[in-house]
Amino acid sequence: MTQSSWEVADERRLVFDAPVTAVDVRIVNGTVNVVGTDGGSARLEVGSVEGPPLIVTHEGTRVTVAYRDLPWQGWSKWLDRKGWHRSAVVSLVVPARADVAVGVVDAAAVVSGVEGDTSVRGVSGDTTLVRLSGRVRAESVSGGLEAQSVTGELSYDSVSGDLTVIDGAGPSVRAGTVSGDMLVDLTSSGGTPIDLALTSVSGDVAVRLPDLADAQVNAETAGGAVTNAFDGLTVTGEWGAKRVTGTLGAGAGSLRASTVSGSIALLRKPPADEEGAASASAAGSAPGPTSGKVV
């Protein structure tokens, strides 16, 4: 198996002429940007490096960009921030079908246009995912995740990071947090049943569904408020624990959401013609309720 290796201590650009089907990036502080493309060779641009050099290897069809002392396992040691004097700005252009794995500590990560599987693990630092069609797995301690137009399976686990899904059209979203809030905005899925499973301890959970949603619904909170915008759903419990249950459409899909002390909001998107007229003025804003009763 052919292997090439580079030690990168300052700005540098590398082009990988041999095929690339997987990339691993692990950095502390700075920024990671991975973009999938349909043509051309994979290439790496390192904007700046402070502290230890990055080690870049191209082994077989896998490219790795990382520090020698930052493995995938044993992330707990990076919670002790003493002695961190490093930063890097890394941009990768890769074939769209490549698998992408990113690990960050106090760094922002952006992955877009990738059709292969994507994995993001972080101690802190926010992650943005745009137009991904493969399976997505994200984990963080305190960093938030924003997913835009993701059509693959999405799973997310965090202690205090927030989850925001915009125009989600994937087959499933599964997420769990301790104190992070979750806002999931689903677009029309072209007949694919909804499959949502969202859990939090103290975070708020809000889901905005298409007007013609199709799912069995079971959402509950032990101590928070409930907002429900669907006439076909029933809210039970006026004091303490509250639950929203019922069937939307034919009930082919599933929506399960629970939080202990946070609020639950089930919001309805306007019909397609109304939404199209309003989308230009609302672009970039967080989705909000169209109607609903707070209990």
Alpha helices in the chain (DSSP H): 272-282
Q: How far is CA 186 from CA 3, 165, 209, 263, 287, in A?
A: 43, 8, 5, 19, 10
Helix (H, G, I), strand (E, B) or coil at 135: coil
The pTM (predicted TM-score) of the whole model is 0.88
Q: What is the pLDDT of residues 148-165, one digit of tens each?
A: 999 999 999 999 999 999
pLDDT exceeds 70 at position 123: yes
Question: Can you give the pLDDT at residue 57?
Answer: 96
Question: Can you give the pLDDT at residue 1?
Answer: 59
User: Contact 239/181 with Cβ under 8 angstroms?
Assistant: no
Q: What is the pLDDT of residues 177-193, one digit of tens each?
A: 999 999 999 986 556 78
Instruction: Count other Cβ atoms within 10 Å, centred on residue 2.
Output: 8
Handedness of CA 95, 97, 99, 103 (dihedral sign): positive
What confidence tier does 287 reach under pLDDT thresholds 50, 70, 90? Answer: very low
In angstroms, rounded to a whole number, what is the distance separating the alpha carbons of residues 152 and 114? 10
What confidence tier does 49 reach under pLDDT thresholds 50, 70, 90? Answer: very high
